[in-house]
């Protein structure tokens, strides 16, 4: 909470106020002109906002060209907008100047002068310190020192003698590591500022930076594995296709695909992660000589990425033995489609190259039904929530009949997901569902060689054929 005893100026004329603001404006412009001849190094502490150059960007650009990484500590001043709306402009300017001077006094207690790349103010309430990579440099150490620095800054700003009026100012901190994963320095700074600010304002957890770097490392080293689960033809017992499933590194929070992809989206790495899955899947398809359909999950976020189609075609070019018509892009409901008209045009573009589309989780909610009606996919995958215990609930059977009738009218194939019990499979046979997928047929496993697949699914094929004959009779 911020308490003030600073008197506000009242009763002034509007003309006088406008003249005063105009004076401040021209004063600031004159100061900028005076600063222009100065070198970047001499302006690394709170440089003015030039329109021609940014000394901090120039310093970081040169440092990063040498392969260096750095840390960002952001100090976010709480309730600044309340101050700005309450007190005169001159008071705000003096307060910010006082904070900058106090920071310059405090920072040397925590960092050596040669390790400071620069200090910059973003807006009125964000103060950013850029720290070089040095001995003992790590995110944990950066975070620890940011807390100590914040406490010391708040302590000094509480001293009445330091700023005329008794007041209490509070800050929140956010830290981020600026590595080489973003080539453009301005973009790297902007990204670091965005995440550090989100941490400081509690929109992201404090451990976000470490987790994101872990995910960046996973993508860089391609440290994921792809599994497959067969999709069985319920008429012939043959394998219709394979769904690609992803796992992160063992014994990490990212081993689960839910955690892996949810965090990738939060960290703006979803498209990179999904493209890595495609790259891995294509390598496995080529090595294992897969000839059946291959289903690869893809979110609307990645489908709409301007570079994704070109990347997909580039991977296809590396594997000429794989046909685009063999690839079914399975649109997941993890992220909603906001513009169906645009998505429809986009799918037409993908289809012109031979790719096919499936809609996942049909029957799970209104959004999936809207996706089907708007995009008219080649294949509909019935959600496991509808298939689970379908033998016990007539209403689920009625819903499935309606979905099958709808799919027949729009000329779509149907796959029932999440089949785990004989009784569930029996309902699918009875209703003439074309294809099924689930633990009842096979669990997700790594790809195996062609001859091994034939032997592995011989018993499954016999089971399906036997059951189908019973219901055909």
- HEC per residue, 276-288: HHHHHHHHHHHHC
pLDDT over 50 at 343, yes or no: yes
Q: Give this prediction's pTM.
A: 0.81
Residue 85 has a CB neighbour count (10 Å cut-off) of 7
β partners of residue 245: 227
Contact 99, 2 (CB under 8 A): no
Q: What are 80-124's pLDDT values in tens digits?
A: 888 888 888 888 888 899 999 999 999 999 999 999 999 999 988
- The pLDDT value recorded for residue 450 is 67
- Alpha-helical (H) ranges within 176-296 are 185-200, 208-221, 257-266, 270-287
Torsion of CA 381, 383, 386, 391, to 10 degrees: 60
Which range is least confidently modeled, 15-19, 109-113, 224-228, 229-233? 15-19
pLDDT over 90 at 289, yes or no: no
pLDDT over 90 at 201, yes or no: yes
Mean pLDDT, the chain, as a whole number?
86
HSE, side-chain direction, 13 A CA sphere, residue 255: 5
Contact 18, 25 (CB under 8 A): no
Q: What is the C-alpha to C-alpha distance for residues 9 and 87, in angstroms, rounded to an integer?
A: 8
pLDDT over 70 at 36, yes or no: no
| CA neighbor of 377 nearest in space, from 417, 423, 410 | 410
Q: What is the C-alpha to C-alpha distance for residues 297 and 417, in angstroms, rounded to an integer?
A: 14
pLDDT band at 243 (very low <50, low <70, confident <90, very high): very high
Contact 265, 274 (CB under 8 A): no
pLDDT band at 167 (very low <50, low <70, confident <90, very high): low
Which range is least confidently modeled, 18-27, 63-72, 327-336? 18-27
DSSP assignment of 137-193, as one string? --HHHHHHHHHHHHHHHHHHHT-GGGSSS-----EEEEEEEE-SSS-SHHHHHHHHH
Which range is least confidently modeled, 14-28, 290-304, 370-384, 398-412? 14-28
Using the 8-state DSSP alphabet, how is residue 111 labeled? S
pLDDT over 60 at 427, yes or no: yes
Contact 344, 374 (CB under 8 A): yes
Which range is least confidently modeled, 31-35, 94-98, 116-120, 340-344? 31-35
Q: What are 181-198's pLDDT values in tens digits?
A: 889 999 999 999 999 999
- The pLDDT value recorded for residue 33 is 54
pLDDT over 60 at 127, yes or no: yes
Which range is least confidently modeled, 29-43, 340-354, 355-369, 383-397? 29-43
Q: What are 37-46's pLDDT values in tens digits?
A: 667 777 777 7
Q: What is the mean pLDDT of residues 60-69?
A: 93
Q: What are 444-473's pLDDT values in tens digits?
A: 988 776 666 777 788 888 888 887 777 766
- Alpha-helical (H) ranges within 67-109 are 80-86, 89-106
Contact 239, 232 (CB under 8 A): yes
pLDDT over 50 at 131, yes or no: yes
- The pLDDT value recorded for residue 42 is 73
Over pLDDT 90: what percentage of the chain?
A: 65
- The pLDDT value recorded for residue 462 is 84
pLDDT over 80 at 12, yes or no: no
Domains and CATH numbers, the chain: 14-206 (3.30.70.270), 219-472 (3.20.20.450)
């Amino acid at each position: 909470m911020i308490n003030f005893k600073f008197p506000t100026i009242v009763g002034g004329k509007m003309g006088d106020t406008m003249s005063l603001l105009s004076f401040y404006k021209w004063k600031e412009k004159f100061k900028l002109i005076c600063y222009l001849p100065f070198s970047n190094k001499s302006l690394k502490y709170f440089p003015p906002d030039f329109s021609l150059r940014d000394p901090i960007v120039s310093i970081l650009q040169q440092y990063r060209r040498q392969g260096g990484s750095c840390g960002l500590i952001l100090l976010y001043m709480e309730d600044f907008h309340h101050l700005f709306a309450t007190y005169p402009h001159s008071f705000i300017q003096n307060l910010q100047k006082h904070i900058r001077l106090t920071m310059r006094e405090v920072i040397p207690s925590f960092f050596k002068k040669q390790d400071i790349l620069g200090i910059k103010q973003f807006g009125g309430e964000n103060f950013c310190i850029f720290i070089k990579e040095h001995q003992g440099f790590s995110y944990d150490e950066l975070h620890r020192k940011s807390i100590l620095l914040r406490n010391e800054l708040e302590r000094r700003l509480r001293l009445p003698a330091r700023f005329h009026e008794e007041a209490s100012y509070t800050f929140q901190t956010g830290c981020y590591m600026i590595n080489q994963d973003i080539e453009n320095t301005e973009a790297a700074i902007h990204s670091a500022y965005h995440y550090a600010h989100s941490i400081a304002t509690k929109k992201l957890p404090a451990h976000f930076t470490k987790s994101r770097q872990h995910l960046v490392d996973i993508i860089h080293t391609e440290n994921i594995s792809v599994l497959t689960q067969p999709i069985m033809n319920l008429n012939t017992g043959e394998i219709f296709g394979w769904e690609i499933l992803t796992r992160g590194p063992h014994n990490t929070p990212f081993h689960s695909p839910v955690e892996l992809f949810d965090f990738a989206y939060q960290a703006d790495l979803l498209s990179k992660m999904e493209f890595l899955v495609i790259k891995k899947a294509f390598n496995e398809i080529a090595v294992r000589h897969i000839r059946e359909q291959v289903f690869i999950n893809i979110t609307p976020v990645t489908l709409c990425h301007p570079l994704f189609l070109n990347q997909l075609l580039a991977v296809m070019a590396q594997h000429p033995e794989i046909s685009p018509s063999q690839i079914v892009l399975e649109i997941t409901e993890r992220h909603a489609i906001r513009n169906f008209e645009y998505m429809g045009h986009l799918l037409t573009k993908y289809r012109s190259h031979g790719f096919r589309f499936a809609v996942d989780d049909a029957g799970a909610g209104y959004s999936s039904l809207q996706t089907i009606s708007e995009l008219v996919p080649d294949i509909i995958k019935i959600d496991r929530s509808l298939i689970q215990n379908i033998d016990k609930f007539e209403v689920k059977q009625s819903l499935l009949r309606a979905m099958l009738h709808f799919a027949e009218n729009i000329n779509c194939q149907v796959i029932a997901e999440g089949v785990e019990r004989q009784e569930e499979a029996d309902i699918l046979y009875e209703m003439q569902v074309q294809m099924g997928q689930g633990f009842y047929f096979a669990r997700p496993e790594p790809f195996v060689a062609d001859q091994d697949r034939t032997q592995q699914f011989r018993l499954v094929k016999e089971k399906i054929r036997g059951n189908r004959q019973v219901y055909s009779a």
